[in-house]
Structure 1
Amino acid sequence: MKFGVVVFPGSNCDADCLHAIKASTGQTVEYIWHKAGSVDGYDCIVLPGGFSYGDYLRCGAVARFSPVMTPVIEFAQKGGLVLGICNGFQILTEAGLLPGALHRNKNLQFICDDTYLRIENNATPFTCQAEVGQVIRVPIAHGEGNYYADPEIIQQLEENKQVIFRYCDPYGEITPAANPNGSVNNIAGICNSKGNVLGMMPHPERCAEAILGNTDGQLIFQSLLQQWLRRCG
């Protein structure tokens, strides 16, 4: 399996993603520069966290027009696997690959902390190694992680099981206190209707090695590998 990590001006989690994916899967991982005109040859594209283009206008609003996003959008529309983490999630919503938007945290402050996520759907390439209801601990680091969409879209996401991760307490309870940023329905990550594009605000690459004291993030990368192996086998 071959992963590609897109590097935008202002990305600051690209190296983390590349290292975590390689350590978690043992597969080939390469950087893709934001001016690249093709993503041919890759099995999964990762849009990492950071502050692409300084987050001018809105988070992800400028990155959406990077040359690389044209082939990334085409790749996703053809069923290619795309994972957007934090700023990458914001870019996916700006590009129209995921519905809704991310706006300022409810406390209007940047938050860097551990959060607990309850896995709501394990029938996706990103969570196929998990159990529904499983709780994982994944850090966040964002100022604009408050997920919002019109009520009709939220209803559709819920009915179609497109909500993949939800902020919860350590015991899996969905409570207002467990919601760090004010996201509707405690939403921490969603996928598109086809299930091949996932956006999530928490950072699995920051909890994918024992030396970091937490390996819960490996689940996402190992799920992608297992799904690919099953498809190819």
Structure 2
Amino acid sequence: MTVRVGVITFPGSLDDGDAQRAIRIAGAEPIALWHGSHDLAGVDALVLPGGFSYGDYLRSGAIAALSPIMAEVKDAAASGMPVLGICNGFQMLVEAHLLPGGLIRNANQQFVRRDQKLRVENTDTAWTNAFEAEQEIVIPLKNGEGGYIADAETLRRIEGEGQVAFRYLGVNPNGSLNDIAGVTNEHGNVVGLMPHPEHAVEPGFGPDTAAAMRSGIDGLGFFVSAIAAVAAVAA
């Protein structure tokens, strides 16, 4: 079985090609999708990539969350399809109310770019099942509006119900509440995070490690997880 993962391009997306490459390296078939279409082309999973959709006018992800294809994304998410939102894609998912909370300007009001250490908080999702509980990973981060926020009740609920998927370690780069770097929905099929796993999937192009420069491939686990989740449903 060849798992087909759709990557949606929005006006201003810039990491869609990287996401497709990561999917291919992980062993699945990437399918390019367009935001103005209502056709998901029969894919098994979806990635909403990073970038600056609609130039980040209004709020990051707010306009893209109203794109025609998002109606199908919502239906697919409701049916249990794995959906991953990376950076701008995470912003779209919260704006579309597929994930709880919101994202605001970084606390220091500066665009941040760094290789970021994370702790995997939940391994029971479609995008994290290849990791171990509390595993520490390093993947690149680059954002200007990555501060995760939620009201007190929502924060208590997502903490209590295990919906925090990733937490920043070492440094909180954007002032996110509770050091939250990524969250999942209640069913574990929709995940969003600010750092970019697609930039850490191939030796020679990822973060530095103790073994060698640019050898980090911790991001590969996201896409391997989705392939495994789809295969498990099909079995």
- Which TM-score band applies after superposition, normalised by the shorter structure? over 0.9
Which position in structure 1 is the counterpart of 2:191?
Answer: 198
What's 2:208 paired with? none
Write out aligned runs for 1:159-198 (5 A): 159-169=160-170, 178-198=171-191
Q: TM-score, normalised by structure 2?
A: 0.93
Describe the SS at the equivalent of 2:68: coil
Deviations 1:112-134 (A, max 9, x none): 10110001111111111111110
Which residue in 2 is equivalent to 1:229? Answer: 231
For normalisation by structure 1, the TM-score amounts to 0.94
Question: What's the secondary structure of 1:210's corresponding residue?
Answer: coil
Residue matched to 2:97: 96
Q: Return structure 1 stretches of 4+ with deviation > 4 angstroms.
A: none
Secondary structure at the aligned position of 1:211 is classed as coil
Where does the alignment leave 5 or more consecutive residues of structure 2 unmatched? 206-213
- Written as runs of structure 1 = structure 2, the 5 A alignment for 1:97-136 is 97-136=98-137
Secondary structure at the counterpart of residue 198 of structure 1: strand
Q: Could you tell me which runs of 5 or more consecutive residues in structure 1 were left unpaired when the two chains were aligned.
A: 170-177
Identity of aligned residues (%): 48
Q: After the TM superposition, which of the residue ranges 70-79 and 196-205 deviates more from structure 2?
A: 70-79
What is the root-mean-square deviation in Å for CA atoms of aligned residues? 0.8
Post-superposition offset of 1:40: 4.5
Q: CA deviation at 1:231?
A: 2.1
Cα distance, 1:30 vs. partner?
Answer: 1.0
Q: CA deviation digits over 1:189-227, x for unaligned, max 9? A: 000111111000000000110121210000111111112
Instruction: Select between 138-147 and 122-131 the one with higher mean Cα deviation.
Output: 122-131
- Which residue number in structure 1 is paired with residue 9 of structure 2? 7
